[in-house]
Chain A
Amino acid sequence: MNSWNSVWKIGGIVLLAYVIVRGFSTPLQPGLVEASPTRLSPGKATVSLSAVGQPFLRDQETLEDFQLVLRSEEGLLKTQVLDISEHRVTASVNIPTVLPSPALDAFLFTPSSGTLFLGNAFFVENAAEGIIPAGFVAPAPDEAAPLLGFSFPYQPNIMESIRNLLWHVPMWFAMFFVMGIGFVASLAQLRTGQVNWDHRAEAAVRTGLVFGVLGLVTGSLWARWTWGAWWVSDPQLNGALVTVLLYSGYMILRAAMDDDERVGRLSAVYNVFAFIMLVVLLMVLPRYTESLHPGKDGNPGFNSYDLDNSLRAVFYPAVIGWGALCYWIYSLRLRMNRIEHHLLTQ
């Protein structure tokens, strides 16, 4: 084994160890989860909002550093912050008798954790529709950038389970990576008819299937936590299941034949057809099925992933680490296939 081979294999494992440690020890940014009381009437009221994740109150911060603003459509309503604790803010608010909309969103501006937001936090009963009177309006505050240290972004519903991003998503990437290798190998097998390419295709699909099943399991667990069901009809989930079914069909097709030349030829043909149909399916599905999955219309849930440097610093190593592990398993399987072939043809 030459040195570069040792480096990437050990490197992959070390990266994954880093991902595990970082992924499980990084705290979550604070996020507002609950308002009380949720129903208000015009007049003076005391409201409080609670948060999860890291505390948003740090050392040497005072009440004046925090600002709570309620939004009714375009109008901003000012409040007076009365008390701050690690996970709770209490404020007094004077609600006018006219409001653009009875639903109020809450914005909490913090000195070190940026702006926390809770949509439809309060509902005002018995308020007439109209513009907020001048005396009640809050000046538009400057949006502060979060100054938090290394921490993962808070997402409603997802919360701490955001760490699954480091397992679930890279497993899919790894699967598509080896399935791509399998597709290219099958094309080469059809062109040249060499059994060597068939060994590659078989090893790739077998490895890819393992990672596909792992991706399904991690995805299903995540769906149970965030959406409340083990399985939902969703383009990504359906696409994932079909991928696993297609390649299981490939393995069954191989097992049904025993003539080496025929196995190589027919399974390569099927693999090429299946891969192309899979690409078509992954294009068709999202257009015609409703989605809860991130990255689709009406679900901006994960947009801040792209922006969050903390998550990025763990996510990219995770992709590389899982990819390396997957490629390692693939190469072992390939060498096994070659030795087996060598022994059987002597």
Chain B
Amino acid sequence: MKMAVIFHLLSSAMEGFFFGSGKAHVVTGVALVILLGIGVSLWRMDRRLSKMERESQSKNP
């Protein structure tokens, strides 16, 4: 039963359900945006920590 549904979805579309429906691009886009968000927030955290490290070092040599 499951097989039949999958088969139908995959074979009816041009390159299968995943690509044929065009949803693969949406998934890729969302994943990229999330990744970029994680990257930017980590980068900002990194900068902030560097600043704090410099400050704490200058206060207490």
Contact = CB atoms under 8 A, between A and B. Distances in A.
A and B touch in the complex (CB under 8 A): yes
Given A1-B50, A33-B3, A329-B42, A343 B28 contact: no
Nearest to B31: A20
B3 to A, nearest CB: 6
B10 A339 contact: no
B15 A27 contact: yes
Nearest to A53: B16
Interface in A297-338: 325, 328-329, 332, 335-336, 338
Q: Which of A50, A52, A87, A342 has the most CB of B within 10 A?
A: A52
Interface string B1-43: 0011011001100011111000010011001100110110011
A111 B43 CA distance: 50
A24 B15 contact: no
A9 B50 CA distance: 15
B46 A9 contact: yes
A68 to B, nearest CB: 18
Interface residues of A, number: 34
Contact of B10 (A10, A21, A53, A329): A53
Q: How large is the interface on B (under 10, 10 to 19, 20 to 34, 35 or more residues)?
A: 20 to 34
A159 interface: yes
Contacts of A338: 53
Contacts of B35: 13, 16-17, 20
Contacts of B27: 24
Nearest to B18: A160
A51 interface: yes
A101 B40 CA distance: 62
Contacts of B36: 13, 17
A266 B18 CA distance: 51
Contact of A24 (B31, B42, B46): B31
Contacts of A51: 11
Interface in A59-106: 87-88
Nearest to A12: B39
B60 interface: yes
A34 B15 contact: no
Given A9-B43, A13-B35, A160-B18, A52 B49 contact: no
Contact of B16 (A13, A160, A332): A160
Contacts of B16: 27-28, 52-54, 160
B7 A34 contact: yes
A21 B56 contact: no
Interface in A195-220: none
A346 B4 CA distance: 68
Contacts of A233: none
20 contacts: A1-B50, A9-B43, A13-B35, A13-B38, A24-B28, A27-B16, A33-B7, A34-B3, A51-B11, A52-B7, A52-B10, A54-B15, A54-B16, A88-B11, A160-B10, A160-B17, A329-B42, A332-B49, A338-B53, A343-B56
The 7 closest A-B pairs by CB, nearest first: A52-B10, A13-B39, A87-B11, A24-B28, A20-B31, A335-B49, A160-B18
